[in-house]
Structure 1
Amino acid sequence: MTHNQPPVPASFPPPDQWPILTGPHCPACQTDAPGDVVWIGTANDLDTGDKVHLWTCRACCTDWTIPITHWPILDGPDCPYCATESTFWAAIDPDHDGDLWMCEQGHEFVLTPEGVIVLPEDAA
């Protein structure tokens, strides 16, 4: 006899909508500790009607939304450190007006709209 178990909720949105392995910082208490910041699911924004991700912070009981964006996670440049092709988009880097990319080895680098790669040690 098999029992129907409810599905286990995902910890993060789908990778094409959230390509990083950590949650956002809580806007109230600034924690990003795993288990404290939890993705609840998706909804429609009441003001705009746009799809948003719902997040909650178990540490301070704050709820907030982040607009859903579809990111190009498989089309990144090769990693300048280890030359792997397995890179993924991580965030917008406002300090360098570019995109922060990571490789599967954890190396980070910025790619500017002009195609220039900025390494963390070059940015200091």
Structure 2
Amino acid sequence: MTHNPPPYPPPEQWPLLTGPDCRRCQDPAEVVRVGPTTTLTGTQVNVWHCRACLADWTIPVTHWPVLDGPNCPHCDTTVTCWAAIAPDYLGDLWLCEHGHEFVLTPEGLVIISEDGA
């Protein structure tokens, strides 16, 4: 049986446009995103901080493979996965199996990073 995952993750797992509730005090108003990092085990995570209660926590970064993603503009591989929403470019961030990143806008324009990976 062919596996046909949806092109996007479930909405409840999309990158957040607003911060999550604090896991300790449940106050969403004081939560700020510190940024991405990699744990000692190699897991990519986003770090969050609550300015109200000073709690820190991480949320894993999830990459979503699709069968019909765009080809990589760097190496032309067809093995790509959706990584996140790219709000700076109003498009979607994609990764290829070789680690190249690129953005695909709703108009179909491909924006590549300066260094190519």
Compute the TM-score of the two structures, normalised by the length of structure 1: 0.46
Rg larger in 1 or in 2?
1
Compute the TM-score of the two structures, normalised by the length of structure 2: 0.48
